Structure 1
Amino acid sequence: MSMETSQWLNTNTLIGMTAERGKAWHYRAEEQGQETNHYTGFVPVADVVRRLFDWDAQNTKLRIQVPADNDNFTTIGDDGTLMREIVDQTRNVTYHPVTGQIFGVYKTDSIHQYSEWLLDNLAHLVTADGLAVTTDSLGIGSAGVLRGGAQAWVQLEPHETFKTPEGVAYRSHITAYSSHDSSMATTYGRGNTVVVCDNTLSLARKDMSRTGQQYKVRRSAKSMSSKLKDARQALNLIIESSDSFAEEIKRLCEMPVTERQWEAFLGEIAPFPEEDGRAKTLAENRREKLTSLYRNDNRVAPWAGTAWGVLQATNTYDHHEASNRSGLTRGERNTTRAIDGDQAKSDEKTLRLLDLVLSNS
């Protein structure tokens, strides 16, 4: 079961820049305790440390209990069985020091502590002297922990919201994320969020993994000090990414998509199986929801008849309409998909299928 209840999201995520983009979808004032998790400006670094990263994951050697006899037992089990403890000196159990949650068992004893890897090292990446995470124009837009502390992120962004001549408002960001459960490597990457619907959109043709705008560090790495230059070059920093994103939006907005091509695209993205049944019903429902977004939703409809409108329709569907069987809340699912690259893959598939349709018409 997901640990990301509404109360969790209102106390274990910090959302900044609400004056620019409004409150997060999960906002519930009554579930935030004595202080809000929303900030009109940047989230203060001190608050991230105090409210989210006020603990460090710990290691202990792997210990197991096995049945024993009178000669070698060290303890007695709950059922009265004689047991002895075995310690594996080659395995480390990483756990939460407060809750006791076990994150994983590893050969390495290296832990990427969130304060160091998501704040200190991020500061070194984006500032010349490495002395501060924020400047007058760049600060923390959001931060949070998921899965009981197994995952965490810090997102850095400029103060301003960019808006293209085509009417698309977006915010660029650099996101640092890491995990204690090996679900994701410590990664620094850049991306963009469409403000009108708060959808994370990578535009896969300019995707981080394709253009070197992502930098991963294995858990076994002890320090980033020797790799900062490579990491900076890989990220190319945040402001430059906004220019390429705007260029791609312009290109997609200028690419016409006719009604016939839209129908053909639906046939590719949600093909009908030959036989009636559940699969056909699901395809019909997906087509109906995509079409409703494309024609009627103000997050998408203003760009209907363009490639941008098609991409916005599928991306908005993924974020807000697609069935969710992950066992996670939709907010956690969306965040996880953005972090692990699944949403980027979905956007890439949309553009690939649309290219196929346009080239065949």
Structure 2
Amino acid sequence: MSKETLSWLNANTLIGFTDKRGTAWHYRAGLQGTEPNHYPGPIPVEDVKRRLFGWEALSRPIYVEDPVTGGLAEIPERQAIVRSDTGHVMGIFSDGYEPHPYVEWLITTIGRLLDDDLSIGSAGLLRGGAVAWVSVEVPETIRTPEGVEFRPHLFGATSFDGSLATTFKRAVTNVVCDNTMAAGLAERGQQVKIKHSKYSKLRLEEARDALSIVHQVADDFSAQVRRLCETDVSDRQWRSFLDAFAPLPEERGRSWTLAANKRENLQRLWRHDDRVAPWAGTGWGVMQAVNTYTHHGQKVRGACRAERNLLRAVTGGFDDLDRETLRLLEQVLDRPVPVPAA
């Protein structure tokens, strides 16, 4: 069962620009309450502050029962980070841990990093509020001549449970499948990470240089799509790719069944799914099949799909996935597939 219920996702995530990309996969009209979480255009900053970040992360001392006196003894040099509105304990840390307040780091800082014509496209809370993200996007969806629609954005995320450093990262959302994809395959996408330490601060000018500008992602990604669409992949080469990506063990058993199911799902996407089939027979189709399967088809253990996808987007897991897919494709084709530098 998902850690994040549908009720939570409909109340604690905000989705913008739905006129451009449709509703999120978790949207349920009956769970929206009196205030829908979907916006046809950009999400107002004040709505993010009020609906998601209208509480504080407080540092509180930790006590244990004294076995001698039966009273409470404070644990030195330790602190709990709790929600001011619910008292929910989000994490326990040493006294050197420095919380990064959501409004300050995910709204004010992003606003100082970026241009005025960029707007909030999504924001949300996971793990009882212990993880948060804000995505800032260009207003218009970009469509390449090959029919690929995407939205470049800057993704900011942080946590109060120790699972994430505060991270700012360039990324791309593929509209047809609502997937996060690598903004650049030639090298690791630009990102900035700041530890939750009293001595670790964000230097804005260095961050701007590292992240470049969000608008540049559009040119880089469009060129990347074009090159992959120009790369032919025959039926035989597609079968060879499946052999490399999901090899079947010699003996039947659980591993064989898992690999066979993965291959079957990929083949279905390749042949029959509108998110992939229009580009079957190309390198872009291969990228789409693997990325879409991982986002929406692969089994998720120990977390909900939304949480898993968010964390992979922030930590670079989807960048690594796309680059590994490209490496296997080049291995099957026995030649490099040049892509633009990120």
Same fold (TM > 0.5): yes
TM-score normalised per structure 2: 0.93
- Which residue in 2 is equivalent to 1:76? none
| Aligned partner of 2:246 among 264, 270, 273 | 270
Question: Which is higher, the Rg of structure 1 or of structure 2?
Answer: 1
| Aligned partner of 2:217 among 223, 241, 255 | 241
- Cα displacement (A) at 1:333: 2.5
Distance change >3 Å, CA 199–CA 145, structure 1 → 2: same
SS at match of 1:281: helix
Cα separation, 2, equivalents of 1:27 and 1:147:
19
More moved, 34-43 vs 99-108? 99-108
Cα separation, 2, equivalents of 1:43 and 1:147:
22
| Counterpart residue identity of residue 27, structure 2 | Y
Identity between Structure 1 and Structure 2 (%)? 48
| Aligned partner of 1:102 among 63, 69, 89 | 89
- Which residue in 2 is equivalent to 1:288? 264
Cα separation, 2, equivalents of 1:360 and 1:120:
46
- Which residue in 1 is equivalent to 2:163? 183
Cα separation, 1, equivalents of 2:159 and 2:73:
28
Whether 2:337 is the aligned partner of 1:337: answer no
Cα separation, 2, equivalents of 1:204 and 1:59:
39
What are the residue-to-residue correspondences of 1:67-146 with 2, within 5 Å?
67-68=67-68, 73=69, 83-107=70-94, 108-127=96-115, 135=116, 137-146=117-126
SS at match of 2:54: coil
- Which residue in 1 is equivalent to 2:339? none
Where relative contact order (Cα < 8 A, 6+ residues apart) is larger, the structure is: 2
- Which residue in 2 is equivalent to 1:260? 236
- Which residue in 2 is equivalent to 1:215? 192
Q: Unpaired runs of 5+ in structure 2?
A: 337-342
Q: Contact 1:192–1:200 at 8 Å: present in 2 too? A: yes
Q: Contact 1:118–1:176 at 8 Å: present in 2 too? A: yes
Deviations 1:35-82 (A, max 9, x none): 1101111000000000000011000122211311xxxx2xxxxxxxxx
Q: Unpaired runs of 5+ in structure 1?
A: 74-82, 128-134
SS at match of 1:271: coil
| Counterpart residue identity of residue 136, structure 2 | L
Cα separation, 2, equivalents of 1:118 and 1:206:
28
| Counterpart residue identity of residue 96, structure 1 | R
- Which residue in 2 is equivalent to 1:77? none
Deviations 1:94-138 (A, max 9, x none): 1112222222222225210100000011111114xxxxxxx3x31
Whether 2:327 is the aligned partner of 1:352: answer yes
Cα separation, 2, equivalents of 1:323 and 1:91:
37
SS at match of 1:154: strand
Q: Contact 1:270–1:287 at 8 Å: present in 2 too? A: yes
- Cα displacement (A) at 1:85: 2.0
- Cα displacement (A) at 1:221: 4.5
- Which residue in 1 is equivalent to 2:207? 231
SS at match of 1:27: coil
Cα separation, 1, equivalents of 2:6 and 2:199:
36
